[in-house]
């Protein structure tokens, strides 16, 4: 196990009706908040009314900015920064999913940036200050409600970059799994693929003596695998959503990755798909993850054997390890298909013409500073291209 430093201060208020407490919870922290949301689902579901009533009831003033799109855009972030400065907002309340929360975090640090906030994403300059962010989560997926990360799309440059800082961990997040009932069924699959990937990026490692975090990772994966079909069969299954919602937060608040080298190749490869083709993040991960596994498993047979047996329930015993592993990966692909997720890039209407460009962008080769990606196996652009090609279908 490696040395680590774990600090995840986001307060999580979990359960039925918790969104109605948001005004009282924010009152000690803010006089005026920027209420930030997406394309309108919160107005249809009634959540907008509940949150604004709670703010007004507690005497917390608000300005608002809706319109965040999945794969949140830099242009709206810039608008939000200007609005916050004009209105003197002292906290940003994100009501929505990962896209809304990430946009809120970008605005929160952009308010204190002298230059363009995009420079932070491009150069990774440490952020000294950011406004506090609070969230009301409406989809279990990205884990942004407890992470210090934000991922933004620069639509002009067709780049999607992430940035992480302890300053961006939300102050508090409200998670009422009843708010997930209105999700379109396809979003359930997108979210589950993302949650599982957040665990995979930490689970698949060459670090040894990681028994505790191995078990935590496996617990999150098995919980989600068990409960996702239950929620899909009945989108109002509160108990199943509780398990997925809690799993999504635990998957990405950092805990399950402590003491282990991490991977993140699948996320890096997926961001290229989202940046160019605007596909949902979870969809891209569902297509790329099995392809990545088939490409790298030989570099750590023991880890992938453990995954196949402990997580995917493949009988192990004295069988040939590679047979067991490949059956485990097939079972994962079948699980994604059961959730309605596509299996190949061609299912997404993505052809082969930009695969090389994406591989070179993902590894920095396109910008003249190649740095291999991944942890379990270091991947150069030719490896990434091979993975894209094997996912092409
Ligand atoms: O915009 P509205 O109308 O609200 O509709 C949204 C959106 O169309 C809809 N939706 C959300 N909650 C709903 C609902 N519809 C009905 N009922 C509800 N309760 O779902 C759609 C997708 O929303 P989005 O916020 O894009 O989903 P998600 O949470 O999957 O976020 C994806 C983004 O998070 C980033 C991804 O790259 C992607 O841009 N990530 C952020 C991370 C982080 N900050 O730590 C880590 C992740 O790896 C990920 O990269
Ligand atoms: Zn993700």
How far away, in angstroms, is 263 Cα from ligand 2 center? Answer: 12
Per-residue pLDDT of the chain (393 residues; tens, 9 = 90+): 999 999 999 999 999 999 999 999 999 999 999 999 999 999 999 999 999 999 999 999 999 999 999 999 999 999 999 999 999 999 999 999 999 999 999 999 999 999 999 999 999 988 999 999 999 999 999 999 999 999 999 999 999 999 999 999 999 999 999 999 999 999 999 999 999 999 999 999 999 999 999 999 999 999 999 999 999 999 999 999 999 999 999 999 999 999 999 999 999 999 999 999 999 999 999 999 999 999 999 999 999 999 999 999 999 989 999 999 999 999 999 999 999 999 999 999 999 999 999 999 999 999 999 999 999 999 999 999 999 999 998
Instruction: Please give the torsion angle defined by the CA atoms of residues 14, 15, 17 and 18, in that order, rounded to the nearest 10 degrees.
Output: -10
Q: CB neighbours of 322 closer than 8 A, spacing ≥ 6?
A: 297, 298, 301
Q: Which atom of ligand 1 is nearest to the CA of 271?
A: 37
pLDDT in tens, 260-308: 999 999 999 999 999 999 999 999 999 999 999 999 999 999 999 999 9
Cα of 222 vs centre of ligand 2, distance in Å, is 18
State if residue 151 touches ligand 1 by the CB under 6 angstroms criterion.
yes
- Centre of ligand 2 to C-alpha 27, Å, is 31
Verify whether ligand 1 is closer than 6 Å to residue 145 (CB atom): no
- Ion ligand 2: residues, CB within 5 A, are 194
Phi and psi angles of residue 17, each rounded to the nearest 5 degrees, phi first: 75, 0
Long-range CB contacts (within 8 A, 24+) of 303-311: 303/203, 303/204, 303/205, 303/206, 303/376, 304/204, 304/328, 304/329, 306/214, 307/203, 307/204, 310/218, 311/218, 311/221, 311/222, 311/225
Distance 266 CA to ligand 2 centre (A): 9
Cβ contacts of residue 147 below 8 Å, gap of 6+? Answer: 164, 168, 169, 252, 253, 254
The label of the residue with tokens 């040939």 reads 320
Threshold 0.85, pTM exceeds: yes
Instruction: For residue range 191-204, list pLDDT tens digits in order.
Output: 999 999 999 999 99
Does any ligand 1 atom lie closer than 6 A to the CB of residue 18? Answer: no
Is any ligand 1 atom within 6 A of the Cβ of residue 38? Answer: yes
Residues of the chain with CATH 1.20.1090.10: 185-391
Task: Check pocket membership of 97 for ligand 1, CB cut-off 6 A.
Answer: yes
Ligand 1: does its nearest atom lie under 6 Å from the Cβ of 175?
no
Residue range(s) occupied by CATH 3.40.50.1970 in the chain? 11-179
Residue of 284, 67, 274, 283 lying closest to 159 (CA atoms)? 274
The Cα 146–Cα 105 span in angstroms is: 12
Cα 46 to averaged position of ligand 2 atoms, centre (Å): 27
Residue whose pair of structure tokens reads 């948001």 in the numeric block: 22
Q: What is the pLDDT of residue 342?
A: 97
Per residue in 178-187, pLDDT tens?
A: 999 999 999 9
Cα(55) to ligand 2 centroid in Å equals: 31
CATH topology of domain 185-391: Dehydroquinate synthase-like, alpha domain (1.20.1090)
How far CA 237 is from CA of 97, 233, 248, in Å, comes to 19, 8, 17
Sheet of 11-14: strand order equals 11-14, 172-175, 133-137, 91-96, 32-37, 61-65
Ligand 1 binding pocket includes 253 (Cβ within 6 Å): no
For ligand 1, atom 16, name the residue with the nearest CA.
Answer: 183
Mutate to test the pocket of ligand 1, among 142, 235, 251 (most ligand atoms within 8 A of CB): 142
Mutate to test the pocket of ligand 1, among 46, 95, 99 (most ligand atoms within 8 A of CB): 99
What are the backbone angles phi and psi of residue 172, rounded to the nearest 5°?
A: -155, 155
Measure 236 CA to ligand 2 centroid, in angstroms. 25
Pick the atom of ligand 1 nearest to 150's CA.
44
In CATH terms, 11-179 corresponds, of 3.40.1180.10, 3.40.50.1970, 3.40.50.300, 3.30.530.20, to 3.40.50.1970
Is 181 in a helix, a strand, or coil?
helix
Ligand 1 touching residue 205 (CB < 6 A)? no
Q: How many C-beta atoms lie closer than 10 Å to residue 208's C-beta? A: 10
HSE-CB at 7 with a 13 A cutoff on CA atoms is 7
User: Which of 41, 107, 283 to mutate for ligand 1's pocket (most ligand atoms within 8 Å of CB)?
Assistant: 41
- Ligand 1 and 191: CB distance under 6 A: yes
Neighbouring residues of 374: CB distance < 8 A, sequence distance ≥ 6: 263, 264, 265, 268, 296
């Amino acid at each position: 196990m490696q040395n680590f430093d774990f600090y995840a201060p986001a307060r999580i208020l979990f359960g039925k009706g918790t969104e109605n407490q948001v005004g009282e919870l924010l009152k000690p922290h803010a006089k005026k908040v920027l209420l930030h949301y997406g394309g309108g689902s919160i107005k249809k579901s009634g959540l907008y009314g509940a949150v604004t009533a709670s703010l007004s009831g507690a005497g917390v003033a608000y300005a608002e900015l809706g319109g965040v799109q999945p794969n949140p855009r830099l242009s709206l972030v810039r608008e939000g920064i200007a609005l916050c400065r004009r209105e003197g907002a002292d906290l940003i309340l994100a009501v929505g999913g990962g896209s809304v929360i990430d946009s809120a975090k970008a605005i929160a640090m952009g308010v204190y940036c002298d230059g363009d906030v995009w420079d932070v994403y491009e150069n990774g300059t440490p952020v000294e200050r950011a406004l506090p962010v609070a969230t009301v989560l409406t989809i279990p997926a990205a884990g942004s409600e407890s992470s210090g990360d934000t991922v933004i799309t620069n639509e002009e440059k067709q780049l999607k970059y992430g940035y992480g800082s302890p300053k961006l961990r939300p102050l508090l997040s409200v998670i009422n799994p009843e708010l997930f009932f209105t999700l379109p069924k396809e979003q359930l699959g997108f979210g589950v693929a993302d949650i599982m990937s957040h665990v995979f990026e930490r689970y698949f490692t060459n670090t040894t003596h990681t028994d505790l975090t191995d078990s935590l990772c496996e617990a999150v994966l098995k919980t989600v695998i068990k409960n996702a079909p239950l929620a899909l069969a009945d989108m109002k299954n509160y108990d199943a959503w509780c398990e997925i919602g809690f799993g999504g937060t635990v998957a990405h608040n950092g805990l399950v990755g402590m003491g282990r080298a991490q991977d993140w190749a699948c996320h890096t490869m997926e961001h290229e798909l989202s940046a160019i083709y605007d596909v949902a993040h979870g969809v891209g991960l569902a297509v790329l993850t099995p392809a990545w596994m088939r490409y790298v498993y030989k570099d750590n047979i023991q880890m992938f054997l453990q995954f196949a047996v402990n997580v995917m329930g493949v009988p192990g015993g004295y069988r040939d390890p590679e047979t067991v592993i490949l059956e485990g990966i097939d079972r994962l692909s079948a699980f994604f298909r059961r959730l309605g997720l596509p299996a190949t890039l061609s299912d997404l209407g993505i052809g082969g013409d930009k695969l090389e460009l994406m591989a070179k962008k993902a590894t920095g080769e396109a910008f003249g500073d190649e740095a291999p990606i991944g942890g379990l196996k270091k991947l150069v652009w030719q490896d990434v291209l091979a993975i894209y090609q094997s996912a092409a279908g």
